[in-house]
Structure 1
Amino acid sequence: MKGGFNTDRIGKLRKGLEEKGVDAVLIFEPHNMYYMTGFTGGEGCAVITHDKTYLVTDFRYIEQAENESPNFEVVRADNQAKELPAFINSIGIKTACFEEEFINYKLYSDLKENLDGIELIPLGDLIKDIRQVKDEGEIERISKAQSLAEEALGYVKGLIRPGMTEKEVAIELEMYIKKGGAAGLSFETIVASGWRSSLPHGRATDKVIEDGDFVTIDFGIMWDWYCSDMTRTYIVGHASEKQKDIYSVVLEAQMAALEGMKAGMTGIEADKLARDVIERYGFGEYFGHGLGHGVGLQVHEPPQVNKRGDKPLKENSVVTCEPGIYIPGLGGVRIEDLLVVKNNGILNLTHIDKKLEIL
């Protein structure tokens, strides 16, 4: 395997095209392109038919594409609006799938206007479904990302004290990550303290951390193109009984989900494992998001592990398990682990402690 390419992925894609009765697929979305071709340039279009693989890009990326995608015929097209449709017309196909959730109206219009009678058909979930099941190499890279994230959090939690700002916590975390060799962050780091911890996506601000604050830290890193994601909530200085109660409920809910999740159950069923616990303690209205989501090349990707997740979880999908309780004016708690779904349960990639810590 070179880069993101392997023949198994192409084979699954071609089988899906055959089932759809379509001649080819046009891939523009950068993550899908990397996954299927190994090309990291992110500009161009992969064209995959039942027996040919092409990578169409402009002058800037020709050498890179030839190096990263040796199993693809690299085609130069400096004017995508005209030259890409002309190339597609030349390969003798009658139908082609396109990524309806990614391409914009102008690109779609250009293709429709310049393709000679070739029917464009929405791709649907074909590549999403293939990407959902991770191979050994993908799981290894996600595990590496998670391990470095845990090292960083272990370092930073020792620095947190009253008087420090949320931004200072985030900066220390991100410096450690970059020094550790990560390619970058999976998403903008969340550090939410005190009343702001009731904001599930409370990005770090200049708010000063005070004695008695919840501090929720939610972050992820990218390692060799793959993401991690985790959350831990701490209390600074002194904890109230109310804070301890909320934390214990969230932890019990997460443990119920971790013990019950397995391949074959739907995202709805997995979500219910944790939600039932939170509702039993009377906090149901304060758990407003889903239990989790898929993680891979993107930090949010299928499968859905929430009230809308009506599809069965597949073995070797990587998902988060992140129940939470968020009470306006008081604060909130979220505990998030990163898991590999297995037929007989889960493999937890998160090893940092989750017992309540008062810093």
Structure 2
Amino acid sequence: MPDVSLPAIFAGIPLKNPSLFRRICVPIGDPAAWIETPDHRVAIVRDIEMDRVRGSSNADRVVCPADYEPAGKLDADRETATAQAVAEYCRRENLASVRVDRTLPFVFAWHLQQAGIELSYDSDLGVIDRRQKTEQEISWLAEAQSVTETVMRFICETIARSTVAADGTLVHDGETLTSERTRAMAAAEFLRRDYSMSHGAIVATAPDVADCHHAGTGALRTGVPVIVDLFPMNNQTRYWGDCTRTVVHGQPTEMVRKMHAAVVAAKAAAVKQLRVGQTAESVHLAADQALLGAGFDSSRGTVSDQPTIQHGTGHGIGLDVHEPILLDLGGGPVLEREVFTVEPGLYGRSVGGVRVEDMLVVRDGDAQNLNQLHEGLDWT
């Protein structure tokens, strides 16, 4: 077990490293570092970023690499120079051993080791604190999910209210409505609200949707379910929304109705199990057993013609759209104020797929659902 009294180091590029960003609080695109002891916090950032970090973070000191120049001078490469400065800081402060997290770039590890500093890997560092959200973080996630639902409603209603060409394909504003075009419409709606779809979106129908993470291609068709999975990031807070609904233009088949009823029941079973002290595995098994009990098989890792279970039940969410822990086999105890998606689904080449996804906060008692949008197939 790592010694949690050791100083902790986070390093990398805050724009790409959520654990570092959560401390620096500025989405810097250049290398930076954060050195934290029980009673002192130091940020090492590029000189032009120092004032912003002073104003946004709770660092006790904000310095730049030039403030900790080693005897051999700083390298011209910014990442190397920042790593040199971190090692020099540790040398001057007599830090013989430090804790590091799973995201530490090797350039920082190498320079620390070259300076004779022992690295103690802590698998929970930067994980547990992000799993247990603050109320402010929950508010940001709720805001992101509300915006996601607004765009979700627009997209699902657009699909449901389209006209139909002679070949059964959908038409919107005189043009064929495709997966690609629908995603572009969603991206434009999010952009107007200062959100970005940096990981894309899913608007998928049969047969592509048999692969549950396929983004979808080609024309949408009447009578065939369309899975719409939107997961945008708020460009200001950098917290994510993540919501999935399934829409059918026209009348769904009896099989699709059966799939939808099973998925909604599975989600309800998982939500009921999502409580402090329960395991993430038990939440997944509640959903899994509901789907199996409804007559659907599991074929994880294998795309199938008939509708089957393809994935776990959900994941953590926050500064990343997918965060630990997973609601899946092996998942450990859930913690108060963790935020999860719950998203059971069924997928097959022949009839298409159905998935419904909400975002929930683990509370002392029933989980708090951050969604308000209906779960149905009819969006007219």
TM-score with structure 2 setting the length: 0.83
1:28 paired with 2:28, answer: no
Alignment root-mean-square deviation, CA: 2.0
**Is it true that 1:350 corresponds to 2:371 in the alignment?**
yes
State the shift of 1:265 in Å.
Answer: 0.3
Q: Deviations over 1:30-72 (max 9, x none)?
A: 3112223423315310011232211112234223223323533
Structure 2 segments unaligned to the other structure (5+ residues): 66-77, 163-169, 171-175, 299-307
CA distance in 2, matches of 1:305, 1:258: 11
Q: Secondary structure at the match of 2:9?
A: strand
Per the alignment, residue 58 of structure 1 pairs with 46
Encode CA deviations 1:155-214: one digit per residue, 9 max, x unaligned. 1222213130101111111211121233x2363111112212222111143x01112221
Q: Which residue of 1 aligns with 2:240?
A: 227
CA distance in 2, matches of 1:280, 1:201: 24
Structure 1 residue aligned with 2:254: 241
The answer on whether the counterparts of 1:22 and 1:96 sit within 8 Å (CA) in structure 2 is no
Distance 2:42 2:108 in 1: 19
Preserved CA contact (<8 Å) 2:50 2:62: yes
The corresponding residue for 2:167 is none
Output aligned runs, 1:178-197, within 5 Å.
Answer: 178-182=191-195, 184-185=196-197, 187-197=199-209
- Runs (4+) of structure 1 exceeding 3 A deviation are 104-107
**Partner residue of 1:68?**
56
Partner residue, 2:71: none
Check whether the contact 1:194–1:210 (CA below 8 A) recurs between aligned residues. no
Structure 2 residue 350 is matched with structure 1 residue 337: no
Q: Does 1:200 align with 2:212?
A: yes
List aligned pairs for 1:300-311, cutoff 5 A. Answer: 300-309=322-331, 311=332
Partner of 1:102 in structure 2?
103
**Cα–Cα, structure 1 residues 295 and 21, in superposed 2: closer, same or farther, change >3 Å?**
closer
2: CA distance, partners of 1:358 / 1:239: 12
Q: Which amino acid aligns with 1:209?
A: L
Count of matched residue pairs: 336
* Cα separation, partners in 2 of 1:291 and 1:70, compared to 1, 3 Å: closer
Match of 1:86 in 2: 88
For residues 278 and 289 of structure 2, what CA distance do their matches in structure 1 show? Answer: 16
Paired with 2:191 and 2:245, the residues of 1 have a C-alpha distance of: 20
Give the match for residue 326 of structure 1.
347
Tell me the equivalent position of 1:289.
311
Q: 8 Å contact 1:263–1:313 — kept in the other structure?
A: yes
Partner residue in 1 for 2:25 = 38
Question: What letter corresponds to residue 324 of structure 2 in structure 1?
Answer: P
Identity of matched residues, %: 25
Partner residue of 2:73? none
Q: CA deviation at 1:120?
A: 0.5
1:111-150 pair list within 5 angstroms: 111-113=112-114, 115=115, 117-150=116-149
Offset at 1:24? 0.7
What is the alpha-carbon distance in structure 2 between the residues aligned to residue 92 and residue 67 of structure 1? 28
SS at match of 1:28: strand
Matched, 1:167 2:156: no
Q: Is contact 1:250–1:278 with CA below 8 Å preserved after alignment? A: yes
What's the TM-score, normalizing by structure 1? Answer: 0.88
Give the counterpart letter for 1:94 in structure 2. A
Matched to 1:192, the amino acid is A
What CA deviation, in whole Å up to 9, does each residue of 1:132-151 have, x standing for no partner? 11121111111111111111
Are the aligned partners of 1:186 and 1:228 in contact in 2 as well (CA < 8 Å)? no
Amino acid at match of 1:69: S
Query: Residue 156 of structure 1 aligns with which residue?
Result: 155
CA distance in 2 between counterparts of 1:22 and 1:255 reads 42
